[in-house]
Amino acid sequence: MPRNTTVRDYIRTIVDFPKEGIMFRDVTTLFADPRGFRMAVDQMLHPYAGEQIDKVVGLEARGFILGGAIAHQLSVGFVPIRKKGKLPGTTISQDYKLEYGEAIVEIHDDAIQPGEKILVVGDLLATGGTAAAGIKLIERLGGEIISCAFIIDLPDLGGRKILEELGMDVHALCAFEGD
């Protein structure tokens, strides 16, 4: 078996999951490999060397794995953005559109203080809906987002463009185009 040399090499593609015609990009194989996971965390941190970051916000759910690891490396706090009804304290919520229907994400109302510098982390940037909703929550609490970092960008789905139109700096370690 050839040695994995890039983050992309560790990502498994599952055909027709969760439904026919979808090429599911599975990062669990990346997370399961200590070298691959370390490579991903280190590369996600690299663009922010020397930047002030007060907290890392992870997007549901694989963003929790990455966000926790990145927050640990930076010695800063971690804040989850979760699906509605999953956080125990007082929250604020933001709805967003899905392909069919809507969804809602939430954050604790005391998780971010005004002026704190925030790095938003997720595993995959597709349509940008979840990330855009998370950005709105952070901004409502007064957080200043320095950047959004993802392992995978699916450029054909337009998420990067949506986030950039919101004024966000966006970084992704790799892209899967056209499939």
DSSP string of the chain?
Answer: -PPP-SGGGG-EEEET-SSTT-EEEETHHHHHSHHHHHHHHHHHHGGGTT----EEEEETTHHHHHHHHHHHHHT-EEEEEEETT--SS-EEEEEEE-SSSEEEEEEETTSS-TT-EEEEEEEEESSSHHHHHHHHHHHHTT-EEEEEEEEEE-GGG-HHHHHHHTT--EEEEEE----
Is residue 106 among the annotated active site residues? Answer: no
User: Catalytic pick from 25, 62, 82, 160?
Assistant: 62
User: Catalytic pick from 20, 38, 82, 99?
Assistant: 99
Is residue 62 among the annotated active site residues? Answer: yes
Active-site residue set: 62, 99
